[in-house]
Amino acid sequence: MFSNDIGIDLGTANVLVYVKGQGVVLNEPSVVALDQKSKKVLAVGEEARLMVGRTPGSIIAVRPLEDGVIADFDTTEAMLTHFISSLNLGGRWSKRPRILICCPSDVTSVEQKAIREAAQKAGGANIFLEEEPKVAAVGAGMDIFQPYGNMVIDIGGGTSDIAVLSLGGVVTAQSLKVAGNTFDVDIAEYVKKHHKLLIGEHTAERIKIEVGTVVKGLRQEETDIRGRDMINGLPRSVTITSDEIYEALKESVHQIVQGAKNVLEKTPPELSADIIDRGVMLTGGGALLYGLAQLLTDELLVPVFVAENAMSCVADGTGILLENIDKIATSKKLVGV
Domain count, the chain: 3
**Are residues 294 and 215 in contact, defined by beta-carbon separation less than 8 angstroms?**
yes
Report the pLDDT value the prediction gives residue 290, as an integer from 0 to 100: 96
337 residues of the chain, pLDDT tens digit each: 345 688 888 888 888 888 877 878 888 888 898 888 888 888 898 888 887 667 677 788 888 887 667 788 888 888 888 888 787 654 554 577 888 888 777 777 888 888 888 888 877 778 888 888 899 999 999 988 889 999 999 998 888 999 999 988 899 999 998 999 999 999 999 999 999 999 998 899 999 999 999 999 999 999 999 999 999 999 999 999 999 999 999 999 999 999 999 999 999 999 999 999 999 999 999 999 999 999 999 999 999 999 998 988 888 888 888 877 765 555 444 444 4
Report the pLDDT value the prediction gives residue 55, as an integer from 0 to 100: 67
| Same-domain pairing of 283 and 318 | no
- CA–CA–CA angle 181, 186, 192 (5° rounding): 130
- CA–CA–CA angle 332, 334, 335 (5° rounding): 90
Report the pLDDT value the prediction gives residue 39, as an integer from 0 to 100: 81
* Separation of alpha carbons 119 and 126, rounded Å: 9
CATH number of residue 199's parent domain: 3.90.640.10
**Are residues 44 and 80 in contact, defined by beta-carbon separation less than 8 angstroms?**
no
| Same-domain pairing of 147 and 295 | yes
| Same-domain pairing of 52 and 150 | no
| Same-domain pairing of 234 and 222 | yes
| Same-domain pairing of 129 and 75 | yes
Picking from 56, 72, 53, 52, the residue whose alpha carbon sits closest to that of residue 64 is 72
pLDDT tens digit sequence for 13-45: 888 888 877 878 888 888 898 888 888 888 898
| Same-domain pairing of 16 and 128 | yes
What does the CA dihedral 61, 78, 317, 127 come to, rounded to 10 degrees? 150
Domain interval for residue 74:
5-134+313-336
CATH number of residue 57's parent domain: 3.30.420.40
* Separation of alpha carbons 321 and 337, rounded Å: 17
pTM for the complete prediction? 0.83
Q: Which of 192, 226, 245 is the last residue of a domain?
A: 245
pLDDT tens digit sequence for 282-307: 999 999 999 999 999 999 999 999 99
